[in-house]
Amino acid sequence: MGQWMVSPRQECESTPLDRLKDCRLALAGTDEQGRKIHPGMFDAGVISLAHGDGTRRPPPGALRAGVEALLDPALCAFDDYLFLQRFEALEDRVSQNFRQAGIPAESADNICIECGTTRLFGAFLHCAAEQGDLFLAAPTYYHSLPDWCACFGAELVCVPTSPHEAYKLTVPALEAWFEQNVATGRQRKPRGLFLFNPTQTGGLYSSAELSELARFIADNDLIVLADHVFASTEFPGSPPAAYLAAQDGMTDRVVTLGGVSKSHNLANIRIGWACGPRQLIEEMRRYSVSTIISVPRLNKIMALAALDDDRKFLNENAKECLRRVKLIQDCIAHWNTELHRHAPNFPGFRLVHRPRAGHSLLLSCDALKGCHWSGGKIRNNVDVTRFFLSEARVAVSPAFSSGLDGCEIRICFASVGLSETYFYSSETECRAVVDGVRSHLRKESALPIAATSFSNGNNAPEAPVNQMFLHGRTMIQEAMIERMLPAILKVVGPKEKNHDQATVHEGGT
């Protein structure tokens, strides 16, 4: 097979939009002309460690609430323009959550509800940014962020930060960027920052770190959009995510996002919310109503029911995600053991930082840099992505679109085997829904049947959580041990003959 590798743009010449395009082409398995050159992430037979879906079905209480609402015209009439009415029950619950996180009431009580956090980013940029405004973010930002900025005439700039600090924004990194760019006139003064907590790769900002950032933000007259969509996914033993808006002096500077897409697996009902300065939130509401009317009432009712569920559902998911992180670490250790036997001088693979929350981790594949394979020479994480798709039929997420230039890839582990979990929750869901229908028809509480691992009145047998997630773990192990490892050993060669030693960085477990 001849070399067909798409030549990625030189890192120094790549804009964030260029990076996003290169990564999307790699995951689709196409070249720049749209020709299929290797398998893509959606192709049959490919195991995807690149999808960002949920861990399993949402809490049955959310499904029950949705069905009951469908039957109750006073609550969810299809013949009424309910977008003209605010659903205060959800707004009050969201405000309560923000206040419990330490955000002052003068910010927490101003709520904008939208069709997902993507729309909230757009509303924020429409209302807070002007043509040409710069916004800063740390590496590992959400990959579509450059596209959203471009749609509203803003520009995203990635600030170099340290892997030793999980690529989080820090005051020294921001000060260095300002000194090298603003003070020298190379860049205009930024309008604001984008901050993710937890980060896309499981990093967590502490309250002390956010306090330092708050002083820098105030001193430089910046505004911030703080995305907390992965809040409530913190692993056992990790502290809850801290909120920038809870720091002194941030009430008028920070818009805080939240939702139930990642925590409660309700991504497809498209709902998210924000709190922040009153005037800005009111402008975001006007933008929302004028461009998409409203989030359907049914979606709001389901989201409220999910928030009212107890934490057992969230804790089970977080426990499973931590278990998968440890499984991946074991697989990487096995990789390195086999590599040492196969090629003793070959560097190993390692986690860039330990994830403490979320649904993905960052893996350094710098050991592959300089390796030659049928598609060419591996130079960065876009090449690594194409390599694993072609040689192992495994999709990984290239970190090039999130601002990283090396051979780092994201392993998205939470939704692996998602469809296999449906069977185990079906009885719980059906009984919960039937309970809801009975309650609606009789106008009284449904009869208790049996204890359940879910709360909120869902009377159903306990779902076998460990068995539910077992197939996903098996798929991760298959992807890493039976597919990716043989592909790695093939390009390494018993004497590292396929590897350009001069380009390799030190690795380790």
What's the pLDDT tens digit per position in 129-139? 999 999 999 99
- Greater pLDDT, 309 or 5: 309
Domain 12-56+312-416+470-503: which topology? Aspartate Aminotransferase, domain 1 (3.90.1150)
Q: What is the pLDDT of residues 139-155, one digit of tens each?
A: 999 999 999 999 999 99
Q: Is the pLDDT of residue 197 over 90?
A: yes
Calculate the alpha carbon distances from 268 to 54, 130, 312 in Å.
10, 31, 22
499 pLDDT band (50/70/90 cuts)?
low
Predicted TM-score (pTM) of this structure = 0.90
pLDDT at 266: 96
Q: Is 324 helix (H, G, I), strand (E, B) or coil?
A: helix
pLDDT at 59 over 80: yes
* Three-class HEC string of 210-266: HHHHHHHHHHCCCEEEEECCCCCCCCCCCCCCCCHHHCCCCCCCEEEEEECCCCCCC
Is it true that 12-56+312-416+470-503 and 81-308 share their CATH fold? no
**Cα(251)–Cα(110) distance, integer angstroms:** 11
Does the pLDDT value for residue 65 go beyond 60? yes
pLDDT of residue 503 exceeding 60: no
Helix runs in 29-116, H state only: 60-71, 73-76, 88-100, 105-108
- Average pLDDT, stretch 258-281? 97
Percent above pLDDT 90 for the chain: 80
Q: Supply the pLDDT for residue 438.
A: 86
- Distance between CA atoms of residues 242 and 434, nearest Å: 39
**Domain spans in the chain, listed from the N-terminal domain onward:** 12-56+312-416+470-503, 81-308
Mean pLDDT of 390-413: 97
Q: Is residue 445 scored above 60 in pLDDT?
A: no
For residue 193, the model assigns a pLDDT of 98
Can you name the CATH fold of 81-308?
Answer: Aspartate Aminotransferase; domain 2 (3.40.640)
State the average pLDDT for the chain: 90
Nearest to 328 by CA among 367, 364, 375, 291: 364
- Cβ-count burial 171-186 (b if 16+ within 10 Å, e if not): eebbeebbeebeeeee
Mind listing the pLDDT tens digit for each residue in 233-242? 999 999 999 9
